Structure 1
C-alpha cells in the first residue's frame, strides 16, 4: 500500500519538469556562418588587407541577408550627418594597395576607427563628372567630362531635401573643381530645378576654374560651422590634377596632401559638438588611373582597366564597425543607397544597394 504513492509522486515531479522544459523559449539571436543550403559561399572577412582586427564571417544567402538587414534596421541609425570626401583620381596602388600606407598615414590611423572595403569599384565611366554622378545618384552615366551636362537622375542631395523638407543649406557640394556644380541638379522632369542643394565649386562656380584643395577645405569648414548641413560632398582634386601634369612626384605629393586634408576635416568633426559622435565620414574616389603599361599609365584614366576601376572606400561613423576590412564586392553606386539608409530617406532612382556588411 505504501509503494503506490511513491510512484505517483515520482511521476508528478517528472511531468512538471517536462512541462517547464517545453515552455522555455530561446531568445538569443543565432550567429550565421558557413555555406548556405543553396550553395552560396559565405563572405569571410579575411586578412588579405593586412589590416584585419577580427575574423568575422558573414553569410550571403537571401535568408541571412534579410536577417542582417532587419537587425541593422532595428538599431539604425545614430548618424545625423554624412560627409563624403572624394579624393579625385588617386590610384589604389598608391593608397591602400601599397601595404606600407606611406602616402596615407592619416587615413590608415582612421581605419582602426572605421571600416574599409578593398574590393570596391567604379563600374561605369572612369572620369570625374561620371564618377561623382555615380556616387551622388546611384546610377552610371557616360557624361561629358566638362561640366556641360547635368546628371539625368536626382541626387542624394535633392532626395534628402525633398524627403526631409529641410532648406537648401542643409545639403552642400563643396568642390575644388568648378564643373562639379552639376551635382546640384538633374534633367529628370519632376526634379529639374527643384530641391537643389547649395554649392561652392571652383573659384566662383561653374566655368570659373579650379581652386586649391586647401582653400576647399577652409570653405567646407566654414560651411559646416555656419550652416550646420546634414549632408555634404567635398571634392579634392590634387592627385588627378597633378597626375595629368605627368609629374609622378607631384602626383604622390597630391595624394599625401589630400591625406593631410582628411585629417584636418576629421579633427574638425571631432571638435564640433554638432558633429562629434553623430557623423558618418566616407572617404572614396571618383576613379583611379591607368595601370602601368596601359595607355600612358598614371597620367590618364577613362577606360575599364583595373587601375581605373579599383577605388578606395573607408567609412567611419556611429553605425559602422571599427577596425575591419572587407572583401565583399561593392560598387560606387552603392554609396547613395547606404547614405539614404543612414539618413532615413528614399533614393528611388538609385540602382545601388545598402552596404549592410559595414553596419554594426
Structure 2
C-alpha cells in the first residue's frame, strides 16, 4: 500500500498551466447515445408496451427534425454544451465511444470511468470494495486537493466503487442521510428522503441533486463526482415516458449546477464538467432497449460531453473516430494538471478535449 501511495504522489506532476481548477464528473446511468444525439425515438414512441402517455410525450419532446427533438429533450446539452463545449459519440456520423470492459453494466462501467482500467475481475454489481485506485482517490492524495474531493450518488454501490474506507473520500449514496451541522435545505431533504420512498432507484435523483448542490455550496470541493440513476431504472421497467423525463430532468440539474458555478467566484471560469454514462442499451432489436449486458447488442456504445475553460468549442464532434470510456479518468486529471497513474494500464487522455 505504501508503494501505491508513493506512486500516486510521484505521478502527480503538473502539466502546462490550465485555467481549470475544479473538475465535476457527472453521470446518468444507462442513458443511450441514440437519445443524446437524436432525441425521442419514434420507434419506441409508437410502441404501446413502452409508452403510457403518447400525446404528452409528443407535445413535450417531438419535432419533425432531429435537431429540434434532441434540443427539446436536452436543452442544456444542445444550447450550451453544443456552443461552448464538445459532445462525442454520434455513431450516425462515425464518431464512436465504446466501453472497454466486456460486461456492459454498471459496476464495471463506473470502475472503468473512474479508474481508467477495464478490469475483467470487476464482473458484478455486488457491494465489494474496489481494489483499483480511482482518479478521485488519486487526486485526493495530491497536496493541493487533499480533503477537497467528494461524491454524491443515487445508486448505493458507489461507496464500494470509490472505496470510501481506503480513499477517505466522503461518498453520500442511496438512502444515506446527511450528518453533522445541516442547512435548512439539508434538513428538509433528509426528511423527504426518509418519508418519500423512491419506487425506482435507491432514492430519487432530485434528492441526490439538491443534497449534492448543498454540499458544493457549503464545502466548495475542487473535485466532485455526481451520479444519477433513474434513467436506467425506468428503462428496466420499460417506461419510456419516465426514462425521457428523467433524462430531461438530469439535463436541468446539470444546467442549474453549471449556472451556479458560473455565478460563484470559486468556480466561475475555472470549472470543467465531464458528463457521461456507464453503458448503453439495446437498439437493433427495439424490444431490448430496456436491457443491457453481454447478451444485448450495442450496449458497449456510449457517449460523453465536456465543457469548461480549457475545452475548445467544437460542439458536436462529427469527425470519424474511436474513443473509449477508459480515457475519461486520465482526461479528468489532466485538466487539473496531473498525470493520473494507478499502477494499471489505463486509457490515454482525450487530447482534443483540451486546448
Coarse TM-score class (shorter-chain normalised): 0.7 to 0.9
Q: Once the 2 structures are TM-superposed, how far is the Cα of residue 83 of structure 1 from its aligned partner?
A: 0.3
- In structure 1, C-alpha distance between the alignment counterparts of 2:126 and 2:336, rounded to whole Å: 28
Asked if 1:215 corresponds to 2:194, the answer is no
> 1:217 touches 1:265 (CA, 8 Å); kept in 2?
no
Q: Once the 2 structures are TM-superposed, how far is the Cα of residue 178 of structure 1 from its aligned partner?
A: 0.9
Q: Once the 2 structures are TM-superposed, how far is the Cα of residue 73 of structure 1 from its aligned partner?
A: 5.0
Q: Once the 2 structures are TM-superposed, how far is the Cα of residue 229 of structure 1 from its aligned partner?
A: 0.8
Alignment of 1:1-360 (within 5 A): 74=16, 76-98=17-39, 99-100=66-67, 101=70, 102-110=72-80, 111-118=82-89, 119-124=96-101, 125-142=103-120, 143-164=122-143, 166-168=145-147, 170-185=148-163, 193-204=165-176, 210-293=202-285, 296-303=287-294, 307-326=298-317, 327=319, 328-349=321-342, 351-360=346-355
1:77 counterpart SS class: coil
Change (3 A) 1:96 1:304: farther
- In structure 1, C-alpha distance between the alignment counterparts of 2:295 and 2:256, rounded to whole Å: 33
Normalised by the size of structure 1, how large is the TM-score?
0.72
- In structure 2, C-alpha distance between the alignment counterparts of 1:73 and 1:287, rounded to whole Å: 31
Gaps of 5+ in 2: 1-13, 40-65, 90-95, 178-193, 195-200
- In structure 2, C-alpha distance between the alignment counterparts of 1:304 and 1:264, rounded to whole Å: 37
Rg larger in 1 or in 2?
Answer: 1
> 2:269 touches 2:308 (CA, 8 Å); kept in 1?
yes
Q: Once the 2 structures are TM-superposed, how far is the Cα of residue 305 of structure 1 from its aligned partner?
A: 5.6
* 1:270-314 C-alpha deviation (Å, 9 max, x unpaired): 1211111110011111111112417x5111111276631221211
* 1:19-63 C-alpha deviation (Å, 9 max, x unpaired): xxxxxxxxxxxxxxxxxxxxxxxxxxxxxxxxxxxxxxxxxxxxx
> 1:147 touches 1:181 (CA, 8 Å); kept in 2?
no
Gaps of 5+ in 1: 1-71, 187-192
- In structure 2, C-alpha distance between the alignment counterparts of 1:138 and 1:275, rounded to whole Å: 26
Runs of at least 4 residues of structure 1 off by over 4 A? none
Change (3 A) 1:304 1:321: farther
Q: CA RMSD in A?
A: 2.3
- In structure 1, C-alpha distance between the alignment counterparts of 2:308 and 2:144, rounded to whole Å: 24
